[in-house]
């Protein structure tokens, strides 16, 4: 695997060796169940308590506001379904955006289909930005929840969460944000963002897959989705994934400490990649916002070629990237995100996404740049 140029960190990241080391003892030596009232259980329970403190500190929260889950998908579902159903008596309206991950959009649609909610899906501009004024107009007396992602996974665009939070706060409406893509690359602080709920996932920040967390501001009503032993303050039953929880917390701690340097380095490599692609590939189109975007993210459309075909050709040359969102791999539908940006379906099908990581080097960017123009022109021919 070492000889691959991996430029698909928005799909998943490798686990940082320091994270693996922190997790390792909790698989076999310290294997206890945190609910057990004996020394083995207490060791595990202390590890989960440490992880809760550490994860909370990484996003400016209190430890009692962190619920560990099985990943970003579950956190999004718990935020949307859990809050809306808890507040059903207060109102029946939820608002989200057209560019959310399916783990937000689908539970919103479930609320409409199965629970009689009204759903407003906000449009975005051609860069993928939600207009706070449009959101303000959509709020009404029965709105109970708004969900807008911090950064988009397909086009990297950053959303104006602070402005949106000022509007929802003023109306007493709860705000959830999916910060899965943002937290590895940008400072994420729940108070400065002003959000009530925030989704995190381990495997996008050099932690393990199958672990995530939901930040729930103190006093926010949430109805659990999983019922059982009452772990995680009754909000997420099931024996805790202790190694995963320790891994997530360690990964968030490392991300918080190393983020400024990483973001600066990734940002300059990303700029080199964008400039190189736009210069060398005729008609290449940068998707997402030109400046308000994740520092490690560059996404394009190459009219005239299928994104999947570019992906396969690059893969054959040892370069790993994505034709949009890996979570929707296998789908032949054009990306709902690119369609929301106003791209025609035939252009949306030409999308290719490069997402950089901590290990990405200038040599790798140059390698991608040396191969891509020929791949695109070969496919066009
Ligand atoms: N939200 C966003 C923005 C994502 O990019 C992803 C994964 O691609 C998820 C949620 C889902 O997270 P997980 O894979 O941990 O379930």
Mean pLDDT of 85-109: 98
| Assigned token pair, 46 | 């202390």
Q: Residue 321: helix, strand or coil by DSSP?
A: coil
Domain ranges of the chain: 5-12+259-380, 17-254
Which pLDDT value is given to residue 330?
A: 56
Per-residue pLDDT tens digits for 275-317: 999 999 999 999 999 999 999 999 999 999 999 999 999 999 9
CB-based pocket (< 6 A), ligand 1: 71-73, 76, 101, 103, 149, 153, 178, 180-181, 201, 203, 212, 327
Where do runs of H (alpha helix) occur along the chain? 17-23, 39-58, 72-77, 83-86, 102-115, 132-138, 161-171, 190-193, 242-280, 307-316, 336-340, 345-348, 362-380
Rounded Cα distance, 367 and 19, in Å? 29
Atom 9 (ligand 1) nearest CA: 72
Per-residue pLDDT tens digits for 118-174: 999 999 999 999 999 999 999 999 999 999 999 999 999 999 999 999 999 999 999
- What is the CA(188)–ligand 1 centre distance, in A? 16
Active site residue 108: no
- CATH fold for the domain made of 17-254: 3.40.640
Q: Which atom of ligand 1 is nearest to the CA of 74?
A: 16
- What is the CA(76)–ligand 1 centre distance, in A? 9
- What is the CA(1)–ligand 1 centre distance, in A? 24
Whether 320 and 10 have beta carbons less than 8 Å apart is answered as: no
Identify the CATH class of 5-12+259-380. alpha beta
Q: Which atom of ligand 1 is nearest to the CA of 71?
A: 15
Nearest CA among 51, 139, 140, 147 for reference residue 103: 147
Q: Which atom of ligand 1 is nearest to the CA of 327?
A: 8
Whether 147 and 130 have beta carbons less than 8 Å apart is answered as: no
Residue to mutate (ligand 1; options 13, 103, 107; most atoms within 8 A of CB): 103
Averaged pLDDT score across all residues of the chain: 96
Which pLDDT value is given to residue 221?
A: 98
- What is the CA(72)–ligand 1 centre distance, in A? 5
Q: Do 5-12+259-380 and 17-254 fold alike per CATH?
A: no
Per-residue pLDDT tens digits for 340-367: 999 999 999 999 999 999 999 999 999 9
């Amino acid at each position: 695997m070492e000889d691959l140029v991996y430029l698909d960190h928005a799909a998943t990241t490798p686990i940082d060796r320091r994270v693996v080391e922190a997790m390792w003892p909790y698989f076999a030596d310290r294997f206890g169940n945190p609910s057990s009232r004996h020394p083995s259980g207490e060791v595990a329970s202390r590890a989960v308590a440490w992880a809760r403190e550490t994860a909370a500190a990484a996003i400016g929260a209190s430890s009692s506001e962190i619920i560990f889950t099985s990943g970003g998908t579950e956190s999004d579902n718990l935020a949307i379904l859990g809050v809306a159903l808890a507040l059903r008596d207060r109102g029946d309206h939820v608002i989200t955006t057209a560019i959310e991950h399916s783990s937000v959009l689908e539970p919103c649609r479930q609320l409409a289909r199965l629970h009689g909610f009204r759903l407003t899906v906000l449009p975005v501009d051609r860069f993928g930005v939600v207009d706070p004024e449009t959101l303000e107009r959509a709020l009404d007396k029965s709105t109970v929840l708004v969900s807008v992602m911090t950064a988009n996974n397909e086009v990297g665009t950053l959303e104006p969460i602070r402005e949106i939070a000022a509007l929802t706060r003023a109306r007493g409406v709860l705000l959830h944000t999916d910060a899965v893509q943002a937290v590895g690359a940008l400072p994420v602080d729940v108070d400065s963002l002003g959000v009530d709920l925030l989704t995190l996932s381990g495997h996008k920040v050099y932690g393990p897959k199958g672990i995530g967390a939901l930040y729930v501001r103190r006093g926010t009503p949430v109805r659990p989705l999983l019922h059982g032993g009452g772990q995680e303050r009754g909000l997420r039953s099931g024996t805790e994934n202790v190694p995963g929880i320790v891994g997530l917390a360690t990964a968030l701690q490392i991300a918080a400490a190393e983020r400024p340097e990483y973001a600066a380095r990734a940002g300059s490599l990303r700029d080199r990649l964008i400039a190189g692609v736009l210069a060398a590939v005729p008609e290449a189109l940068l998707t997402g916002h030109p400046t308000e975007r994740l520092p490690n993210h560059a996404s394009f459309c190459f009219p005239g070629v299928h994104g999947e075909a570019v992906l396969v050709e690059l893969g054959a040359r040892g370069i790993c990237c994505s034709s949009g969102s890996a979570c929707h791999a296998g789908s032949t539908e054009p990306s709902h995100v690119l369609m929301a940006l106003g791209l025609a379906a035939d252009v949306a099908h030409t999308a290719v996404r490069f997402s950089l990581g901590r290990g990405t080097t200038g040599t790798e960017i140059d390698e991608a740049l040396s191969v891509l123009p020929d791949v695109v022109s070969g496919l066009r021919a």
